[in-house]
Amino acid sequence: MSEAPLLSVHEVSTYYGHSQALFDVSLVAGHQGAVAILGRNGAGKTTLLKTVMGELRPQRGRVEFQGRDDTRTPTEHRVRRGLGYVPQEQAIFGRLSVRENLMVGALATRDPSAIEEVLTIFPKLGQRLSQRAGTLSGGERKMLAVGRALLTRPKLLLLDEPTEGVWVGVIEEIGARLAELARRISVVLVEQHLELALRIARYAYVLDRGRVALEGPSEVVRDDPRLLRYLAP
């Protein structure tokens, strides 16, 4: 018998007020590896992550994590149970140093060794420990945001556009680190760089106007002639 998925989203419909943003969306993520969520701006990708995280509550459907129905579980409880989230917007304390940002992140586990693990994954942060986080480059800020999320020791990490605003020369470096992470934990990745996302992920979902328009193994989705139509602005 195959292992039950770590995350199961079952026919979720989510609204902003009276405006429906997700329509019967389903998604599955295993205990390791990456799943990509693709789609043009406004397709519902961030709404889906926020629904999984509990920041938005669906009107229909359910979210199961580790085999338990978490649809109405508060966000902080989901974090304690092993969900991590790096939002698209700023996720660091700009006035604090890199070291202080990591120390704040480590308060959840009270495990200083977790910081050393993060510095192993993102060695550039080790060279910036005394630097104020707000003065880091775009790529370094993204690394710090991911590193802070890892300090909670998540079983599943939700990443919303981790290479947005990052210099092209650093995107591949971040992609390599994310691929390394996906060999150890489960990752759900919203990413604008198509080739990078499909290279990291084993499976991909393409959203169009709040619905799953296309899904399958990454190599199948990559070759599907409908893909570019769903990604076009």
Q: Where are the domains of the chain?
A: 1-82+155-233, 90-153
Which residues make Cβ contacts (< 8 Å) with residue 232, sequence separation at least 6?
Answer: 40
What's the pLDDT band for 57 if we cut at 50, 70, 90? very high
Is the pLDDT confidence value at 113 over 90?
no
CA dihedral 142, 146, 151, 154 (to 10 degrees): 170
**3-state secondary structure (DSSP) of residue 123:** helix
- pLDDT at position 1: 40
CA distances from 206 to 40, 160, 232 (A): 9, 15, 12
- Average pLDDT of the residues in 132-154: 94
Q: Are the C-beta atoms of residues 121 and 150 closer than 8 Å to each other?
A: yes
Helices 138-150, 98-106: crossing angle, 10 deg rounding: 20
Q: Are the C-beta atoms of residues 35 and 20 closer than 8 Å to each other?
A: no
Taking residue 65's Cβ as centre, other Cβ atoms within 10 Å add up to 23
- pLDDT at position 2: 59
What is the average pLDDT score of the chain?
Answer: 94
Is the pLDDT confidence value at 168 over 90?
no
Q: Does 1-82+155-233 carry CATH code 1.10.1060.10?
A: no
Taking residue 100's Cβ as centre, other Cβ atoms within 10 Å add up to 15
What's the pLDDT band for 203 if we cut at 50, 70, 90? very high
What's the pLDDT band for 233 if we cut at 50, 70, 90? confident
Residue range 78-94, pLDDT digits in tens: 999 999 999 988 789 99
- Average pLDDT of the residues in 136-152: 94
- Average pLDDT of the residues in 96-123: 88
In this structure, of 111-120, 141-150, 222-231, the range with the lowest mean pLDDT score is 111-120
DSSP bridge partners of 86: 159
Check residue 134 and report its DSSP letter: G
pTM for the model stands at 0.94
